[in-house]
Amino acid sequence: MRIIEKMESNVRGYVRSFPTVFKTAKGARLTDASGVEYLDFFAGAGTLNYGHNNDKVTAALIEHLQNDGIVHGLDMATSAKTTFMQKFKDVILTPRNLEYKMQFTGPTGTNSVETALKLARMIKGRSNIVAFTNGFHGLTMGSLAVTGNSFYRDEAHISRSNVSFMPYENYYGDDIDTLRIFRRHLSDPSSGLDTPAAVILETIQAEGGIHVASPEWLKGLEEICREFDILLIIDDIQVGNGRSGDFFSFEESGITPDMVTLSKSIGGGLPLALLLFRPELDQWKPGEHTGTFRGNNLAFVASTQTLSYWENDDLSKAVKYKSQVIRERLEKISSELNGYETDVRGRGMIFGFEFKEPGFAAEVSMKCFEKGLIIELAGAEDQVVKFLPPLTIAEEDLQEGINIFEEAVKELVQEKENHLREEF
Ligand SMILES: Cc1ncc(COP(=O)(O)O)c(C=O)c1O
């Protein structure tokens, strides 16, 4: 760790939450250099939906490299790319009656978001974009402008104009219809809201603290977009790729976004980002939005393997089953915590356990790490413990991880009670 502390910028983050040197990983488990094993409920922030070093992926990558398969090809056609595209069409788009064109952007999620915003503005000839409270879309300048959290926004002393924030569902509690507010702003010529080119949102806000939009709210938002000629962009970077139980998180609601951003697990563990959009939105001139690393051939090879999970509904059913397991366990733990204000929210295999007491969630995450569980925080004040295990995790491992979380919470509660008793 000394080299990290000495040489790596202060900006480093996760290494502070999980201070050890990891050496190997398989499935839902990581092992550090001294042989200590950890269960992984973080899964590379949603990049490892199919687990670490998935056997099928490893074998395909080795074969590709041993046969001198193309590793870098700019955006030229390669066998790895055409195979991936065909499989994505056959396994994901066609069975869902979705007709999208595909644009390969730079390799991380934020590149896909930047592309979506640029294309939407170009098509509509409007500068404004509507984003939502607690949304997170990445940290390059355009994506940062549609990201809510001031912790990230404060450092960029540049103009972040051309974005208006509207309240997400339940932002003011469940008795206020936030879509009514949005509609009123759009209809009133004196509201001060410039008609946006697009709205961008996550159907389940992940970094923002696990806020789940209902199918009705999403449907209502889609109707508003159609009525006011606004493009609907769903950012499925973290909760796409099966996290919700369906391949796309919006499937349950029945909406059809105009654009969808995908990254993280689409690369089967390797960097890959892409943007899907309706064919008539493909208004780019050739080479107009370019870059060196667009379409990573090793990621295409990896992704082609992981897309096989979607050839039948086994994974989808497993995610929905494990979702129920997580929900029941977390709700039970929450109900047993007398005197602590908590909340459990989630869908599919992304859940948040919120502790209203400031700092408590961070203590829980730290204690979990000491006990061999890697679990991160979310929310504006890091008040939510975020459950994000690989979708392929075995049920015993899932139960074991939740047991560790439960033990950590109960020990901390006990320590606090003892402390109070000593004080009085
Ligand atoms: C919903 C969402 N959009 C965009 C991003 C940005 O992706 P990246 O960090 O790969 O740039 C993230 C990252 O966590 C995300 O969760």
pLDDT value of position 421: 81
Q: How many Å is the maximal CA-CA distance in the chain? A: 73
pLDDT value of position 363: 97
Lowest model confidence (mean pLDDT) among 40-49, 56-65, 408-417: 408-417
Ligand 1 centroid, distance to 346 Cα (angstroms) = 18
Residue 302: closest CA among 43, 25, 53, 40: 53
Q: What are the residue ranges spanned by the domains of the chain?
A: 2-54+314-423, 57-310
Q: What is the mean pLDDT of the chain?
A: 96
Residue 234 pLDDT class (50, 70, 90 cuts): very high
Distance CA 366, CA 314 (A): 34
- In this structure, are residues 33 and 21 in contact, taking their beta carbons and an 8 Å threshold? yes
pLDDT value of position 156: 64
Cα R_g (the chain), whole angstroms: 22
DSSP calls for 242-288: TTTSSSSTTGGGT---SEEEE-GGGGTTS---EEEE-GGG--PPTTS
Mean pLDDT of 255-274: 98
User: H/E element holding 154?
Assistant: none
Mean pLDDT of 228-240: 98
Angle, helix 297-306 to helix 55-66, in steps of 10 degrees: 140
Mean pLDDT of 117-138: 98
User: H/E element holding 314?
Assistant: helix 314-336
- In this structure, are residues 212 and 218 in contact, taking their beta carbons and an 8 Å threshold? no
pLDDT value of position 157: 75
Ligand 1 centroid, distance to 63 Cα (angstroms) = 30
Ligand 1, atom nearest to 110 Cα: 11
Cβ–ligand 1 contact at 207 (below 6 Å): yes
Cβ burial 231-261 (10 Å sphere, 16+ → b, else e): bbbbbbbbbbbbbbbbbbbbbbbebbbbbbb
**What sign does the CA torsion over 137, 89, 97, 103 have?**
positive
Superfamily of structural domain 2-54+314-423: Aspartate Aminotransferase, domain 1 (3.90.1150.10)
Ligand 1 centroid, distance to 238 Cα (angstroms) = 7
pLDDT digits (tens, 9 = 90+) for 329-343: 999 999 999 888 999
| Residue located via tokens 């008609």 | 195
Residue 424 pLDDT class (50, 70, 90 cuts): confident
pLDDT digits (tens, 9 = 90+) for 5-34: 999 999 999 999 999 999 999 999 999 999
Residue 119: closest CA among 279, 293, 296, 294: 279
Topology, domain 57-310: Aspartate Aminotransferase; domain 2 (3.40.640)
pLDDT value of position 420: 80
Mean pLDDT of 73-79: 95
Residue 311 pLDDT class (50, 70, 90 cuts): very high
pLDDT value of position 382: 96
Cβ–ligand 1 contact at 235 (below 6 Å): yes
Cβ–ligand 1 contact at 113 (below 6 Å): yes
**What sign does the CA torsion over 234, 240, 245, 246 have?**
positive
Distance CA 18, CA 31 (A): 12
pLDDT value of position 77: 97
Note the helical H segments in 165-248: 178-187, 215-227
Cβ burial 327-365 (10 Å sphere, 16+ → b, else e): eebbeebbeeeeeeebebbbbbbbbbbbbeeeebbbbbb
Mean pLDDT of 389-405: 98
Cβ–ligand 1 contact at 138 (below 6 Å): yes
Angle, helix 79-87 to helix 297-306, in steps of 10 degrees: 30
Ligand 1 centroid, distance to 211 Cα (angstroms) = 16
Burial of 171 (0-12, 13-18, 19+ CB in 10 A): middle
Ligand 1 mutation target, pool 42, 110, 248, most atoms within 8 A of CB:
110
pLDDT value of position 158: 79
pLDDT digits (tens, 9 = 90+) for 164-223: 999 999 999 989 999 999 999 999 999 999 999 999 999 999 999 999 999 999 999 999
Ligand 1 centroid, distance to 111 Cα (angstroms) = 9
**What sign does the CA torsion over 84, 86, 88, 91 have?**
negative
- Tokens standing for 130? 């509507």
Ligand 1, atom nearest to 271 Cα: 10
Ligand 1 mutation target, pool 132, 237, 266, most atoms within 8 A of CB:
237
pLDDT digits (tens, 9 = 90+) for 128-161: 999 999 999 999 999 999 999 988 888 767 777 8
Ligand 1, atom nearest to 236 Cα: 1
Cβ–ligand 1 contact at 386 (below 6 Å): no
Distance CA 311, CA 118 (A): 33
pLDDT digits (tens, 9 = 90+) for 376-385: 999 999 999 9
Ligand 1 centroid, distance to 260 Cα (angstroms) = 13
Ligand 1, atom nearest to 135 Cα: 1
Mean pLDDT of 309-329: 98
Distance CA 107, CA 294 (A): 6
- In this structure, are residues 74 and 294 in contact, taking their beta carbons and an 8 Å threshold? yes
Q: Do domains 2-54+314-423 and 57-310 have the same CATH topology?
A: no
